Amino acid sequence: MSSETDETGPIDYLVIEFPGSRMTGEGLPLLVDLVDRGIIRILDLVFVRKNQDGTVDGVELSELTANGQEDLAVFEGVSSGLLGRDDIDEVSAVLEPGSAAGIVIYENVWAGPLAAALRRSGGRLVANGRIPVQDILASLDAAEAGSRA
């Protein structure tokens, strides 16, 4: 393993659907902030729109800039090669007609040193997952309701 890949953090992906293609770009400055602070590194970033007839078009970053004030040039042409046409087609197949989506592949840079230390000590990832925020909120609401009973 090279020293660069030795310190690589976990790599995740997100697909965020925007029903009605209502992408405002409001979240993009927050994404820029995460990159600027070295928390994540964007490997791939693609936006698509699924038309009513089922065809899919790419969406340019310039179309998403909130009020034209954010400089998103840092994301122009971001492509590691991990996200391929097949992946985009797979995402597009689950989108509702008239919707848009952002697809992002990112490295969790913050976790790189920890991941490297665990690998050096013989550790290996055997499971991972994510708990949806809606499930956590429902569980907290149920616990709170139970404590009032």
Give the residue extent of every domain in the chain: 3-148
Q: What confidence category does residue 111 fall into, taking pLDDT thresholds of 50, 70 and 90? A: very high
Q: Name the least confident of 26-30, 35-39, 64-68.
A: 64-68
CB-count burial class (<10 Å; 0-12, 13-18, 19+) for 39: middle
Which long-range contacts link 115-122 to residues 24+ away (Cβ below 8 Å)? 115/7, 115/8, 115/9, 115/10, 116/6, 116/7, 116/8, 119/6
**What is the value of pTM for the model shown?**
0.78
Q: What's residue 76's pLDDT?
A: 75
Contacts of 27 (CB under 8 A, 6+ apart): none
